[in-house]
Structure 1
Amino acid sequence: MSVTIVGVGRLGEALLAGLLRSGVEPKEIVVAEKDPARVARICAQHGVTAATPDEAVAGADVVIVAVKPHDMAGLLADIGAALAPGAFVVSLAAGITLTFLQDALPAGTPVVRVMTNTPLLVGAAMSAICAGRHAGDDELARTEELLAAVGRVVRVPESQLDAVTALSGSGPAYFFYLVDAMIEAGVLLGLPRPLATELMVQTALGSAQMLRETSEHPALLREAVTSPAGTTAAALREFDRQAVRGAILDALVAARDRSVELGRPS
């Protein structure tokens, strides 16, 4: 299928690179980007073709929109009339609802909304997708096929996307925050910063791999590390004394509520 990507910033270019790695031919992809220098570099580096947004979407089977939310209304007005019959639109813009997309595009346009996260940049994204009222299993399956090039994909109802945003959309920042704090703790305990960083990055990577490959509940994996009256038990007791679990729950509720707020019409 022919694919147009409108907006090739960091996420758009990462998706482009993932599609090319997965076997999509450069000739099957057209990009549109308002930064002339950036689009010239991307075309030279990846071998794809560039065009204006309305020209880029003409004839495309799938139009992936990866622009900033505040640019979405103007862009949809520009490309709506140029969409080919049977084409569908995939939106990566946070907070832009299916209703907004459907109202801004020609009547009957199939739309799929995506909430992804920044590990897309290294081919390890967690993406959640939901279908508009004119999109069916075919559009969802083709969206899954595209996004599988840069990570894992799940289907959810749109009513769950604010919770997904709080959990996995913003989730990488929480891990970076925790790892940064643990590196600083290592420095406080007398380790050189490069060593503390190497220890924590590999520990985070290995722990995530254990979760994926063993399919064990996190609590069971935690218990396996926690010897009675040992060092891990002492640290976990301090986490509980500081109400870290409650703080995490409150933080994700706050993120969910902010996502709901941002998705309301202005």
Structure 2
Amino acid sequence: MPSLQDSKLAFIGGGNMASAIIGGLLNQGINKQNITVSEPWDVNREKIAGLGVQTTTSNVTAGGDADIVIIAVKPQVTKSVCEELAAAWSKRSTLPVVVSIAAGITLESIKDWLRTSDGRTAHIVRVMPNTPALVGEGASGLFASVDVTADEKELVGALLQSVSKTTEWVDKEELLDVVTGLSGSGPAYFFAMVEHLVASATALGLPAEQATRLATQTCLGAGKMLVESPDTPTQLRVNVTSPNGTTHAALETFKALGFDETVDKAVKAATSRAAELGNTLGKL
């Protein structure tokens, strides 16, 4: 297996997540000529071409002889894309490593759709990234099929580390649904929190522009403390909460209104929906 630097990379789909990963790879010094992107939409393809990589409208042209193929298309078209690639790969002696970031599509479905005419199937890694990858601050959960080797896992890990500050391998595929409920959907939870903080402060008289700047920087600063401090989230909360102070008053309000239960139900709802979508899309 070639190193990441020497591998031929194919992206099937050139949307935002693919663009983010490609940008991260180029920042790592990956040769632009080693990256080919298949994208049917002119606007997306032209945007990707602006990065200096090769582009095409053909999935087979992009992924036909690649070492690593990243499936970055919408879940609804994953089956047709995989079957198209499998037909082309029937002529190959060695199959590529496939990285799927198609949300919800199970390993079983992908393996079935990628099966070649002679019964072989590629080694597959499912990945659940999140949108902060667009600014190089992503968090990704990964799950590998049993045939993926240690070297292949290391290769895929290096690929994802180009945009993810945290890459976590899970040992059960269903845990990717939990990753979806936690970090996959998680950015929206923080966006919603900041949205409501701004609305509350504005209602109390603070200009919206000032409230937005203060709230967003508070979110960024708190996140940086969580990443860089040796303290647990619980301890960081305790550190900023003086007895009977302002923070204590706010947190007691959260508690009285069932904040803990609300967060728990939200994460469980997202996790359940991820599992449901996987089961539904796999039957398409």
Q: TM-score, normalised by structure 2?
A: 0.90
Of the candidates 201, 204, 225, which is equivalent to residue 186 of structure 1? 201
Residue 146 of structure 1: aligned partner: 159
What is the identity, as a one-letter code, of the residue corresponding to 1:48? V
Q: Secondary structure of 1:227's partner?
A: coil
Q: How does 1:112-191 map to 2 (within 5 A)?
A: 112-151=125-164, 152-157=166-171, 158-191=173-206
Structure number with greater CO (CA < 8 Å, separation at least 6) is: 2
Query: Amino acid of the residue matched to residue 15 of structure 1?
Result: I
- Structure 1 position 215, deviation (Å): 2.5
SS in 1 for 2:174: helix
Gaps of 5+ in 2: 1-6
- Structure 2 counterpart SS, 1:46: coil
Q: CA deviation at 1:111?
A: 0.5
Moved over 2 A (4+): 81-84
Q: Which residue of 2 aligns with 1:220?
A: 235
How well do the aligned residues superpose, as a CA RMSD in angstroms? 1.2
Q: How far off is 1:86 after superposition?
A: 3.9
Question: What is the Cα deviation at residue 146 of structure 1?
Answer: 0.6
Unmatched runs of 5 consecutive residues or more in structure 1? none
1:183-241 deviation digits (Å, cap 9, x = unpaired): 11111121111111111111111111111111311111111111111111111111111
Aligned length: 265
CA separation in 1, counterparts of 2:147 and 2:199? Answer: 50
Q: Specify the alignment match of 2:216 in structure 1.
A: 201
Please report how far the alpha carbon of residue 82 of structure 1 lies from its aligned counterpart in structure 2 after TM superposition.
Answer: 2.6
Q: Which residue of 1 aligns with 2:4?
A: none
Q: Residues of 1 paired with 2:75 and 2:239: CA distance?
A: 44
Closer/same/farther in 2, CA of residues 263 and 219 from structure 1, 3 Å limit: same
Query: What percentage of residue pairs aligned between the two structures are identical?
Result: 39
Greater fraction helix? 1
Give the 3 Å change call, closer, same or farther, for CA 81–134 of structure 1 in structure 2.
Answer: farther
CA distance in structure 1 between the partners assigned to 2:128 and 2:230 by the alignment:
24
Give the match's secondary structure for 1:168.
helix
| Equivalent runs, 1:62-81 vs 2, <5 Å | 62-81=68-87
Question: Structure 1 length normalisation: TM-score?
Answer: 0.96
